[in-house]
Every structure is written in C-alpha cells, then in structure tokens.
Amino acid sequence: MMTSFDTNDVLFQTLNASAGLKAMITGGIYTGKRPLNSTKEDICINTITVTRTYTPQSGTSNVNIYVPDKPLNHNGQEQKDINDTRLREITGKVISLLEAARVNGLSFWISNQTDLAAPEIEQHYTNLRIDWNIQI
C-alpha cells in the first residue's frame, strides 16, 4: 500500500531528476511547504488524498509552480502582474516531464490545470491536479 509520502516521493523524484528543470527555475522543488517568504520560482508538491483500500488505490496530488509577478507600468503607476511568459515556460516543462514518466505498478495523469493569483506575495502559480491509479 502506498501513502501520501510515497506519491509525493514519486512526483519529487520525477521532477528532481531533470537537470534541465532544476537549471530552468531560480528556486527549488519541495514537498509540503515552500520556504517562507520565497521570492523565487519554486515548485511545491503535496498529496491531498490516497485511499486506504485494497488495490487499486486512488489518490489526488497537487504540483504548484510559483513565479514572481513582473513589474508593470500602467499610466505612470507601477504595479505587478502575472509573468505569463515564465509561468508558461516552466509549466510546459513540468507537464512534459510528468506526462513522460513511467513507474511500474502505478499511473498518474494531469486531470486539471489552473493558473491562480497569490497577490499577498506578488506571485502567480499554476496548479496541476494529479490523479493516481495505484496497482502495487
């Protein structure tokens, strides 16, 4: 039986194994919470549920990709807005890595993708919802 710790590990190992992704982002890849007050491009993994029944197990995880907002001058007023170029680049790389991953005895797929604002930290993030089918 797998636990949420195991599904977090699978996602972490899948993303952390990519030197290209690690070189692409200014921050890190984390399970659980990201560093307090981070202003970097970070990827945060967490699992919200894994069934405790016999196989097959199912579950749901999140992969959140954070990118600081970019400065924008609008009518002489400085404000912050989504850095959609960076968010798109990093999200595309993460999606391609997750879709290419193969692990014996289980499968996971991206069921939803949403871009969200985090105005209190002047960042936007992409949430990738991951669904699991665990046969081990």
pLDDT digits (tens, 9 = 90+) for 71-125: 988 888 889 999 999 999 999 999 999 999 999 999 999 999 999 999 999 999 9
Q: What is the total count of domains within the chain?
A: 1
Instruction: Identify the domain containing residue 85 by its residue range.
Output: 4-134
pTM of structure: 0.94
Q: State the pLDDT at residue 80.
A: 92
CATH number, domain at 86? Answer: 3.30.2000.10
* pLDDT band at 27; cut points 50, 70, 90: very high
DSSP annotation of 132: E
62-91: b (≥16 Cβ within 10 Å) or e: ebbbbbbbeeeeeeeeeeeebbeebbeebb
Q: State the pLDDT at residue 73.
A: 85
